[in-house]
Amino acid sequence: MDLGLRDRVAAVGGGTAGLGYATAEALLREGARVFICSRSPDRVRAAVERLSAVAVDRGAPSGRVAGMALDLSQEDDCPRFIEETEARFGRLDCLLLNTGGPPHGYALDADDATWLRAFETLVLSTVRLTRMAIPRMLALGGGRILAVTSTSVRQPIPDLVLSNSLRGAVVGFLKSAANEYAARNVLINCLAPGRFATERVSSGDAVRAASEGIPVEEIRRRSLATIPAGRYGEAAEYGAVAAFLLSFANTYLTGSHVYCDGGQLRAVL
């Protein structure tokens, strides 16, 4: 299937590792030009090199991918992300909303400062970037926005109270925006990962194991027992779904919260 991404421009938050990197690579393989960001200059540099090698392997010039170190929880860095994408590639067609997840913790663990940091990271970054991206996409005749969310929106995850609480606000905001701009060809969706073999999930497993005083292998065994597919997902599998939702082969799916979780979420609706 041709996803209609050739020479489109995608801005990918958190594009140096895990699901963000996998999405950037999937977009690049489909012919898009990709601008990534992350808080670490070293990780940005390494990811750009790896993605450039992917482009060259596919016969495309390495200049189809670029990036810079930014912290999307910071007000000034959100416009820089959009502006630098345009400065490098001349337009903005697709936006992946993705930041590092908030720290683990239970309902009474976090103080006000921690809640505010999590709100800025998850919610305000989404609002700021979407507010900047949509006018640019409208000027081009349309665009695609996708947020990396969590199954915790439907089923809270133990010891992730910050994520459980704030990702619902992200979904609500993007559903509102999707309804407002669907008729103008700006399609906006959310894609919730289940258990994927990423650094974030591995670190979470380690935290839970330490808190319970049991081997991390036991945490993994418990998790696998809840996944009908019988395994953790590979990041590339998420990237493939994300690339379609961000693509121009997607012409009618908007305002949706899609679950890519191997069947782990048991809810019917």
| Phi and psi torsions of 244, nearest 5° | -65, -45
- What's the N-to-C CA distance of the chain in angstroms? 29
**pLDDT (0 to 100) of residue 148:** 98
CATH topology assigned to domain 9-194+238-259 = Rossmann fold (3.40.50)
**pLDDT (0 to 100) of residue 113:** 97
Residue ranges of the chain assigned to CATH 3.40.50.720: 9-194+238-259
| Phi and psi torsions of 105, nearest 5° | 165, 160
Task: Say how many CA atoms lie within 13 Å of 112 toward its Cβ.
Answer: 0
| Phi and psi torsions of 195, nearest 5° | -95, 110
Grouping H, G, I as helix, E, B as strand and the rest as coil, residue 188 is strand
d(CA 195, CA 202): 10
Q: Which residues, in sequence order, are bridge partners of residue 233? A: 196
194 pLDDT more than 90: yes
| Phi and psi torsions of 60, nearest 5° | -105, 155
59 pLDDT more than 80: no
269 pLDDT more than 90: no
pTM, 2 dp: 0.95
d(CA 161, CA 107): 6
- pLDDT tens track for 18-54: 999 999 999 999 999 999 999 999 999 999 999 999 8
- pLDDT tens track for 224-237: 999 999 999 999 99
**pLDDT (0 to 100) of residue 49:** 96
